[in-house]
Chain A
Amino acid sequence: MTMTKRFFLGLAAGTALATLPMTAFAQDWQPTRPVDFTIMAGAGGGADQIARFVQSVVEANNLTNRPLVPTNRGGGSGAEALLHMNGARDPDHTLMVTLNSFYTTPIRQEGLGIDIETFTPITMMGVDPFVLWVHKDSGITDFEGYLAKVREMNGEYVMGGTGAGQEDSIVIAYMSGVYDLDIKYIPYDGGGAVAKDLAGQQIMATVNNPAEAKGFYEAGDFVPLLAFSDERMEAYPDVPTMKEMGHDFSYYNQRAIVGAPGMSDEAAAYYREVFGKVYDGEEWQSYLVSESLSPLPMDEAETRAYWATQVANHRKLLAEIEG
């Protein structure tokens, strides 16, 4: 073999050239202390799992020179995390993993004085669709059957969810609105608890992310009836979508990483590169498939525009629920 030192040097130089714009950018700024990686939810749950997954990938591949420190600040439906970000002492070292309470909590709790437009978009890791589930013993096999059953029960049909103003309650409220359903809604403190009580038939149906219901689905206990995604989901090709039912509605939980208000452009660029690598990596791509997340890559400007539409949408949806 004639792999000389020069060959390696040339190779290194070549790679350096090819990736010059990015690395040059990154070298301008590097974290000097541990990075606060705030999670907008408690331990367990989807957001927490994703945050710890991302952190593990970063750690295992040595992508940052300072560790990411995951911290759960789920109090007050994410209010705690938002306040923490808003008052971050050191915005360049403060990141947050979001779910949709990123939009809903500032709307519902105006007293917090949070304006999410001031936050810094980093990376959109994907969006998590919602699916309507029932237990197999209920005998319901399709959405029409479900509608018939809910109407027959006349207000006694029990669904579980994660609480007023939370993602699933928005979906359920929309569904009850368009089909004129009277549903009894029981709030729980997490998607896992909801799925468990559906498995034990304490409640009759849920709107859960696929990841939370997957184990029971594979065991045949849960039956998916309707997906609230834009298109049919790969994992459940036979399950129709709300859009096919003639209602222009889809709803996703956003799994994104955002920076604290006031983060410098250099720091933001650094983190975008790091999490971009995570996003492109094999680990994350297979996670997207196994947990049925949809990819939704966006750059900074697109993300800001997306936030604006999401805030407007949520304002409307929440107003409909509460009005």
Chain B
Amino acid sequence: MRQGEISLAGILALFSLYLMWKSAELPIGYMRGQGPGGGFWPFWLSVGMLLSCVAIAWNWWRGKSPASVSDEPLMDSFGWLTVLHVGGGVIGFVALISVVSMYGAVCLFLVYYLRFLGRHSWVLTLVLALFVPVLLFFFFEGAMQISMPQGLPFTQPFFDMMYDIIY
């Protein structure tokens, strides 16, 4: 935890510096007769972020925050595995959207989560993994008229068929 606290503050400080540099593309000063320029607000707020990071580091050095005096690891192996499995699953989910369409990705994600993380039975898994995307399809495309991403062209015949049903 102790190491994590200062590393995180460091990363955030670097990010603040980047934001300051990027804001400076527009005038960051107080222009006479016009008030602040376009970069003023983000620049000085990024400075605020940077200063907060310095203060966080100062508190860390003095051992003021709980994390800075904790010798416990950030997470045990179980924690890391959970985050890896769940977080990775969500990343995979979003990545798959561009390939197998939103509904396909929902189906695969549910199979992955329910069966492999949740250890539910195949019957329950498959029922939910098929039922939920179909329900979402009718809700979004049919009722709400919001088109979700359709992935690579190979999914097209399927969508054309579904659209013939709902319209």
Interface size on A, residues (CB 8 A): 9
Choose among A32, A33, A65, A69 the residue with the greatest number of B CB atoms under 10 Å from its CB. Answer: A33
- Confirm or deny: A67 has a beta carbon within 8 angstroms of a beta carbon on chain B: yes
Contact B145 A33 (CB under 8 A): no
Contact B159 A33 (CB under 8 A): yes
CA distance A65 to B146 in the complex (A): 16
- Given A65-B167, A66-B167, A67-B167, A34:B160 Cβ within 8 A: no
Contact A32 B145 (CB under 8 A): no
Task: Tell me the minimal C-beta distance from A69 to chain B in angstroms.
Answer: 5
- Contact mask for chain B residues 127-167; partner A; CB cutoff 8 A; 1 contact, 0 none: 00000000000000100011100100000000110010001
- Confirm or deny: A36 has a beta carbon within 8 angstroms of a beta carbon on chain B: yes
| Interface of chain A residues 3 through 61 with chain B (CB within 8 A) | 32-34, 36
Question: B150 — which chain A residues lie within 8 A by C-beta?
Answer: 33, 89
CA distance A15 to B159 in the complex (A): 34
Question: A33 — which chain B residues lie within 8 A by C-beta?
Answer: 147, 150, 159-160, 163
Contact B146 A32 (CB under 8 A): no
CA distance A32 to B167 in the complex (A): 10
Q: Which secondary structure dominates where chain B touches chain A?
A: loop
| Interface of chain A residues 68 through 101 with chain B (CB within 8 A) | 69, 89
| Interface of chain A residues 140 through 154 with chain B (CB within 8 A) | none
| Contacts across chains A and B counted by CB atoms under 8 Å | 21
CA distance A34 to B150 in the complex (A): 12
Question: B147 — which chain A residues lie within 8 A by C-beta?
Answer: 33-34, 36, 69
CA distance A66 to B163 in the complex (A): 8
Q: Closest A residue to B146 by CB, please name it.
A: A69
Q: Closest A residue to B160 by CB, please name it.
A: A32
Question: B141 — which chain A residues lie within 8 A by C-beta?
Answer: 34
Q: Closest A residue to B149 by CB, please name it.
A: A89
Q: Closest B residue to A36 by CB, please name it.
A: B147
CA distance A65 to B145 in the complex (A): 13
Question: A67 — which chain B residues lie within 8 A by C-beta?
Answer: 145, 167
Question: B160 — which chain A residues lie within 8 A by C-beta?
Answer: 32-33
Choose among B145, B150, B159, B160 the residue with the greatest number of A CB atoms under 10 Å from its CB. Answer: B145
CA distance A34 to B159 in the complex (A): 10
Task: Tell me the minimal C-beta distance from B160 to chain A in angstroms.
Answer: 5
Question: A69 — which chain B residues lie within 8 A by C-beta?
Answer: 145-147
- Contact mask for chain A residues 238-273; partner B; CB cutoff 8 A; 1 contact, 0 none: 000000000000000000000000000000000000
Task: Tell me the minimal C-beta distance from B12 to chain A in angstroms.
Answer: 26
Task: Tell me the minimal C-beta distance from B164 to chain A in angstroms.
Answer: 9
Question: B167 — which chain A residues lie within 8 A by C-beta?
Answer: 65-67
Task: Tell me the minimal C-beta distance from B153 to chain A in angstroms.
Answer: 9
Question: A32 — which chain B residues lie within 8 A by C-beta?
Answer: 160, 163
Task: Tell me the minimal C-beta distance from B136 to chain A in angstroms.
Answer: 15
CA distance A65 to B160 in the complex (A): 13
CA distance A67 to B142 in the complex (A): 10
21 contacts between A and B (CB under 8 A): A32-B160, A32-B163, A33-B147, A33-B150, A33-B159, A33-B160, A33-B163, A34-B141, A34-B145, A34-B147, A34-B163, A36-B147, A65-B167, A66-B163, A66-B167, A67-B145, A67-B167, A69-B145, A69-B146, A69-B147, A89-B150
* Leading 3 A-B pairs by shortest Cβ distance: A34-B147, A32-B160, A67-B145
With A33-B160, A67-B167, A69-B146 already in contact, 7 other A-B pairs whose C-beta atoms are closer than 8 Å:
A32-B163, A33-B147, A33-B150, A34-B145, A34-B147, A34-B163, A66-B167
Chain B residues close to A by CB (< 8 Å)? 141, 145-147, 150, 159-160, 163, 167
